[in-house]
A and B are shown apart, each in its own frame.
Chain A
């Protein structure tokens, strides 16, 4: 079953707390992504991972870092969360980073930073 999972689905944190969002995929995809989705802005790319320990910044990496120690897992870390990081975060994976491959998205994590 081709699936991308995300945990947790909902999270409420206070400003300054650390946040860990986890993503898993069962398709052995090399490439994984983290996006955030805000109303009227579509999907904004935070980070891409091309494989284990091979990560690259996206359009809005400031305030975020990632970790990929196993091909099937990709984590997004917010050190000292800020209120403007309240958003819905999506993880995605694709077979490769080439343009012809579709991205498979997880169900999202709704993060609220108070």
Chain B
């Protein structure tokens, strides 16, 4: 059974600072990785994906993937109060016992950006 663990559970950063969120997974066959963000009272929304080892940058957000180390991270540069939310990593579908794919989500990191 794939295990996805996120750290830290919560994080406080000052406005303009860098937030670093970590995610480890257990299945070496995992191929695709997503980061989702959930603001309070809303549903999660996809932030960015990363499929290859290395870094992927989208605006203030940079994802880093190291499949050999079973590790994916998200870095938020110049953090804004609007970035305050719950962040999930979602690891690629694994072959479920029914033969169908499904995602596995981590428990999330709660980020608070203070002005």
Contact = CB atoms under 8 A, between A and B. Distances in A.
Contact of B42 (A56, A98, A107): A107
Contacts of A42: 4, 88, 105-108
Contacts of B107: 40-42
A51 to B, nearest CB: 12
A37 B36 CA distance: 14
Interface string B34-63: 101000011111100101000000000000
A48 interface: yes
A99 B92 contact: yes
A99 B32 contact: yes
A50 interface: yes
B82 interface: no
Contacts, number: 62
B46 A103 contact: yes
B93 A97 contact: yes
Contacts of B88: 42-43
Contact size class for B? 20 to 34
A48 B102 contact: yes
B67 to A, nearest CB: 14
B51 to A, nearest CB: 7
Given A40-B107, A48-B102, A97-B100, A90 B93 contact: no
A74 interface: no
Contacts of B66: none
Contacts of A103: 34, 36, 44, 46, 90, 103
Given A50-B100, A90-B43, 16 more contacts: A4-B43, A42-B4, A42-B108, A43-B44, A45-B103, A56-B96, A56-B98, A59-B102, A98-B93, A99-B93, A100-B49, A102-B49, A103-B46, A103-B103, A105-B36, A106-B43
12 contacts: A4-B43, A41-B107, A42-B88, A57-B98, A92-B43, A97-B101, A99-B92, A99-B93, A100-B32, A103-B44, A103-B46, A107-B43
- 4 smallest CB-CB distances across A and B, nearest first, come from A105-B43, A99-B32, A102-B46, A42-B107
